Structure 1
Amino acid sequence: MTAHNNLEEYRDPINYDLEFGGETRKYQFYLEWAKASAGEALELACGTGLTTLPLAQAGIAMTGVDIASSMLAYARMKAGNLPVEFIEADARTFRSDKKFAMIYLTGNAFQAFLSDEDQAALFSTVYNHLEPGGRLIFETRNPAGTDLSDEGETIWGQFTDSDGNVVKVSGTQTYDAERSIMHWVTCRDWGDKRTESRIDCRFTTYAALTELLTGYGFRIEHQYADWDRTPFTPSSPLLISVCKKS
């Protein structure tokens, strides 16, 4: 991981939910696959439980793992008596005696694993904790369908914070082609203050990802371009992979 450890975006869990929550089609996508997998599910890099909790509310036995203690504290508060356990751990080194019918990462969390070693450790964790025939599901931005050019500060959007204020969101991007890593700086204008946070994401080509999955013991079942299950094409901005443990 990088010097700032990719955690600057996750210091304010309440406003994180307000900015990034509400992706109902995504939640439904993972719920449908959890039901089809017919067993307990594990979300790695679960954050505040934005996706974990809707599945638990639907009766899926859930475990959520994340490295950010502040995000997990908020997730536990929201969970109440739902059938979910939240564990503070690094997905690269997480160990449990449990085996899961489905393991997933969302929010493009796969791209936070910035080296070959990180990706290898992640896939080893997944393989070791899946039941025979269990599913790995995750999404990642497709470099062939993404503008990777450097950009100065541009407007990205806005959200309403926990105090009812409209927060304007903008940012910059700088791409390290040698390491296939995008450096994003997110700027938030809160009216009375302006904050910045940094995050790095690795872009893995379709061919390299396919080789990785096969090499670590996964068979690709389906690949989609969106949560409505539109078939993936080489120019799709998003790649959602549904894989089975071989």
Structure 2
Amino acid sequence: MIDHNNQEEYRDPMNYDLEFGGETDKYEFFLQLAKKNPGHVLELACGTGLATLYLAERGVQISGVDIVEPMLAYARVKAKDLPVAFIEADARTFESDQRFSMIFLTGNAFQAFLSDEDQQALLQTAYNHLEPGGIFAFEMRNPDGNDLSDEEEEHWGTFVDVDGVTVNVSGSQTYDAEKQIMHWTTVRDWGHRQTTSRIACRFTDVQTLKQLLSKQGFTLERQYANWDQTTFQPSSPMVISVCKKG
């Protein structure tokens, strides 16, 4: 389906945090959801623990699972003395005797599962590890609210790296409509060096998503357009789904 392992974006955990961290509104959304569903929380595809640690620092009992060892290693360093377990595992095949009051993914991680089989396996993992009545929440980009046309390389933005250097970020995109997969190539330019990384994400339409969740046994409780809990509309760029295990 793709000619890489879909992990090239995650080779530099410290700079990853500097480029993508600080989304407090998102972390607050999951924090408030966890408070409404007290118990042990699990974040799947937790990466460097940006969301996991935000919740842990505010008293939530939480664990994180990810397949990329360097990201987890940095998460453990950041955790210091916090009682957080970071587990290296594939979210499609993760197994534990622990049952959780809430499971979530963020960073559009659901879109990294590129096939029907991958998505079903992920949802099965979440369902199996929830307590009865437990909550499963995640966001994804809405294909009907995004421009999926092919684009040549253009400037996307900047960030300041661990050494205080301003890094220019540019990229291009190519969409495979048949497989519903967007292929992004990102170029980061330090001035004296460049890195290139590739990532593929699946754009599942909202109706298909609802069918997938229902098939797995989830009840779709709510869908939002943003972290402020604005009601989702068909043209919203993002859809946040909050589901319950029956």
Aligned to 1:227: 227
Deviations 1:61-119 (A, max 9, x none): 11100000000000000001112100000000000000000000000000000000000
TM-score, length-scaled by structure 2: 0.99
Q: How does 1:1-246 map to 2 (within 5 A)?
A: 2-246=2-246
In 2, distance between residues paired with 1:110 and 1:119?
8
Number of equivalences: 246
**SS of residue in 2 equivalent to 1:123:** helix
**SS of residue in 1 equivalent to 2:50:** coil
**SS of residue in 2 equivalent to 1:127:** helix
**SS of residue in 1 equivalent to 2:186:** strand
In 2, distance between residues paired with 1:172 and 1:133?
42
In 2, distance between residues paired with 1:190 and 1:98?
44
Q: Work out whether residues 59 and 83 of structure 1, in 8 Å CA contact, stay in contact via their aligned partners in 2.
A: no
Letter aligned with residue 18 of structure 1: L
**SS of residue in 2 equivalent to 1:163:** coil
TM-score, length-scaled by structure 1: 0.99
In 1, distance between residues paired with 2:82 and 2:217?
33
In 1, distance between residues paired with 2:5 and 2:136?
25
**SS of residue in 1 equivalent to 2:39:** coil
In 2, distance between residues paired with 1:76 and 1:115?
30
Q: Work out whether residues 60 and 83 of structure 1, in 8 Å CA contact, stay in contact via their aligned partners in 2.
A: no
In 1, distance between residues paired with 2:34 and 2:16?
25
Deviations 1:5-50 (A, max 9, x none): 1100000000000000000000100000011111110000000000
Letter aligned with residue 154 of structure 1: E
Instruction: Flag as ranges the 4+ runs of structure 1 deviating above 3 A.
Output: none
1:2 Cα deviation (Å)?
A: 3.4
Deviations 1:184-222 (A, max 9, x none): 000101110111000000000011000000110111111
Structure 1, unaligned runs of 5 or more: none
In 2, distance between residues paired with 1:5 and 1:35?
36
CA RMSD of aligned residues (A): 0.7
In 2, distance between residues paired with 1:102 and 1:154?
39
Structure 2, unaligned runs of 5 or more: none
**SS of residue in 2 equivalent to 1:122:** helix
Percent identity reads 67
In 2, distance between residues paired with 1:160 and 1:198?
21
